[in-house]
């Protein structure tokens, strides 16, 4: 068996508004959408720099729902960009909630995170240095062993 691609597929309470948020904040293009006569979006795809994000409205009858506001999430979408500070600022201006301000991280990236208005958690970062996995592990261990960790 060969695996050809892996797609993230998210579900939201208002796919129309989510599509507008994602295209505006991330500067991505909508590839297409399938809409029911009632207006509910059954499937849509966004082009994220060669990667497709799929999304739809909630379909409780099929067992899919949006994240619950103010509850922990089990998935974080990580986006690697040219300038994470600018993307996070656009997201906050468009209604996202800051979870972690952008800062330089031990693993060689400047990154921060926010929760979008639809409940999904995004981590956004850009590279500040290239590290080997061994150096990342060394720094991670030192971080965890430091006072106050």
Any residues with CB less than 8 A from the CB of 123 and at least 6 apart, and which? Answer: 76, 77, 78, 79, 111, 112, 113
Any residues with CB less than 8 A from the CB of 35 and at least 6 apart, and which? Answer: 41, 42
pTM of the model: 0.92
pLDDT for 149 equals: 66
Q: Would the pLDDT of 102 be above 90?
A: yes
Domains and CATH numbers, the chain: 1-65 (3.30.720.120), 67-149 (3.10.180.10)
In angstroms, how far apart are the furthest CA atoms of the chain?
Answer: 59
| 50-54 average pLDDT score | 95
| % of the chain with per-residue pLDDT over 70 | 99
| 88-115 average pLDDT score | 97
Q: How far apart are CA 136 and CA 106, in angstroms?
A: 7
């Amino acid at each position: 068996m060969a695996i050809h691609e892996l797609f993230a597929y998210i579900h939201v309470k208002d796919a129309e508004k989510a599509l507008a948020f994602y295209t505006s904040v991330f500067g991505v293009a909508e590839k297409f959408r399938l809409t029911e006569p009632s207006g509910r979006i059954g499937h849509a795809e966004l082009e994220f720099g060669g990667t497709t994000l799929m999304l739809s409205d909630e379909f409780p009858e099929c067992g899919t729902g949006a994240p619950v506001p103010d509850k922990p999430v089990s998935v974080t979408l990580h986006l690697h960009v040219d300038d994470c500070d600018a993307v996070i600022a656009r997201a906050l201006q468009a209604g996202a909630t800051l979870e972690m301000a952008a800062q330089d991280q031990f693993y060689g990236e400047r990154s921060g995170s926010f929760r979008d208005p639809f409940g999904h958690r995004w981590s956004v970062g850009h590279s500040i240095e290239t590290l080997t996995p061994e150096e990342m592990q060394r720094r991670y261990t030192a971080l965890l062993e430091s006072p106050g960790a």
